[in-house]
Structure formats: C-alpha cells, structure tokens
Amino acid sequence: MLIRLLLLLIALAAPLRAEEVVLGLSQDQVSISTNFDGSEIIIYGAIKRETPIPLDQPLQVIVTIAGPQEPITVRRKDRVLGIWVNAAAMDVSAAPSFYAIATSAPWGDVINEADDLRHNVSIPRRIRSIGAWSQVANPQEFIDALVRIRMKNGLYVLAEGAVDLRESTLFNTAIQMPANLTEGEYATRVFLTRGGKVVSKYETSIDVRKVGLERWLYNLSRQQPLVYGLLSLAIAIAAGWGASAAFRLMRSG
C-alpha cells in the first residue's frame, strides 16, 4: 500500500507534457538489393496538446535519422618533396555511418547550445573521439574534415527549413537515404523546441537490411571468406574471358 501511494505521489509531482509528437513514417524498413539506388523516407506527424498553443514563442521541429555508429580513422595528407603522403591520423571512436537533420527553421533558431549538447543533435555532437588530444594537436580539424567529406558524399545532411510546419500542429519532411547505406537500425528522432529549448522528444527506428543476392553474398563474405574469394576470382576470370572473346569476334567480323 505504501509503495502504491509513493508511486501515485511521484506521478502527481511529475510535470505534464504540454506538447507531444504523434509520428508516422512512409516506411520503417529499407531493403538493400542488387539494384538498390537509395530510398526516400517521408516523415509526417501531428502535435498533441494538453494546453492552448503558447503565443509568445513559435514552435520549431527537428527531425534526425542516424545510421549505426562505427569507428573510423581520419588521415591528413601533406605535401612532402612534391608528393602527397599521409602525415597524421586520428582514430574516431564512433561516428554515424549516415546522419541527416531536417529543421523547420534556420539552425540558430531551432535549438540552443545547451540542449544540442544534452541531446547530441547536431552533426559534430554525434561524433565521439575519446583520447583525441593524445593523438593529434588539433582534433577538431580532423572532425571537421570528416564532416565535410561525408557531407560531400551525401552521408551527412543538414537541411535547414526542410520541415514543413503548418499552424504549429502538422509537420512533414522527406529525407533522402543514399545507395551506400550500412546495415542496421537507423535511429529516428523528432524534437519539438521553443525558444531553442527542447520541450518534447519522440524516438523510433528504421530497419535497413540487405536482401536477396546482396544478402547471400554479404553472408558468404563474412562466414566463408575463402569460398567468397574463389567465387570472386572465378567471376573475374569469366568476365575477362567473355570480354576478350567478344573483342576477337568484333575484330574478325
């Protein structure tokens, strides 16, 4: 009886969430096959309220999709005697293989530094580099380079203003996922913010898996690497012989 009373008091003392997200996805599974060339995920939702819409500060929405975390080595090239060589390297403990952010307004208007740090929302906040200062003099340069390269390759995306928010109640956005996705769970988060502060958060995930021939080859390369290597060699020899035979036929014709 005493435990029930304590739980009731705790529930009554907890603050009511004035605004919450009701979310939908166009798909919660992505299948990678041999002809997979990317996928567009449409995210849409509504905001459920227990109180009237506050008029003092506008509501903003942030949507993020993050691929599996993985370690990576970032190398810097320097020119030595006219030749570009690897001069310094930093091991990044964990970085998302894919990370996309869509916002309803410019970045500076949707979240402040403190809440960005607390929830790890921005791209640099998702990258962890434990012991980086013991590896290189300025680790931030390497992190910036990693972000720049992956943004260029479409693996990191910051789409400011890409979330369509209507009457502070309904929202939707579309995030393009590239062809070179890593298998795994893609954490999907939606943040509601006011005055740069996070007032509500919703989390779900998208499952990305290889299927068909792509899945079979992937499993073969992991479980029987020798067989996979011999098969790859046989395919390469057959392709070379076929190209040579076709070339001879064209010359004789």
Under the banding of pLDDT at 50, 70 and 90, the label for residue 86 is low
Angle between helices 225-252 and 212-223 (to 10 degrees): 120
Which residues in 6-45 are b (16+ Cβ under 10 Å) and which e?
Answer: eeeeeeeeeeeebbbbebebeeeebebeeebeebebebeb
Neighbours of 89 (CB within 10 A): 12
Pick from 168, 198, 211, 209: nearest CA to 64: 198
Instruction: Let me know: does 172 contact 163? Beta carbons within 8 Å.
Output: yes
Helices (H), the chain: 2-13, 107-110, 113-119, 139-152, 212-223, 225-252
Q: Are strands 29-32 and 197-210 parallel, antiparallel or unpaired?
A: parallel
Domain range 15-210, its CATH number among 2.30.30.100, 2.60.40.3880, 3.90.1150.10, 3.40.640.10: 2.60.40.3880
Helices (H), 64-154: 107-110, 113-119, 139-152
Q: Give CA–CA dist 67/181, Å, rounded.
A: 8
Q: Which residues are 79's β-sheet partners?
A: 84
Decide if pLDDT at 252 tops 70: no
Instruction: Let me know: does 66 contact 186? Beta carbons within 8 Å.
Output: yes
Range of weakest confidence among 46-60, 67-81, 182-196, 224-238 = 224-238
Reported as a single tens digit per residue, the pLDDT across 185-203 is: 999 999 999 999 999 999 9
Map out the domains of the chain as residue ranges.
15-210, 211-253
Instruction: Let me know: does 177 contact 40? Beta carbons within 8 Å.
Output: yes
Highest mean pLDDT, choosing among 36-40, 52-56, 141-145: 141-145
Tokens of 184: 């795994």
pLDDT of 13 reads 44
Pick from 141, 143, 111, 138: nearest CA to 126: 143
Instruction: Let me know: does 174 contact 184? Beta carbons within 8 Å.
Output: no
Tokens of 18: 């004035």
Neighbours of 55 (CB within 10 A): 7
Percentage with pLDDT > 70 across the chain: 71
Decide if pLDDT at 74 tops 50: yes
Average pLDDT over residues 153-166: 94
pLDDT of 10 reads 38
Q: Give CA–CA dist 139/89, Å, rounded.
A: 10
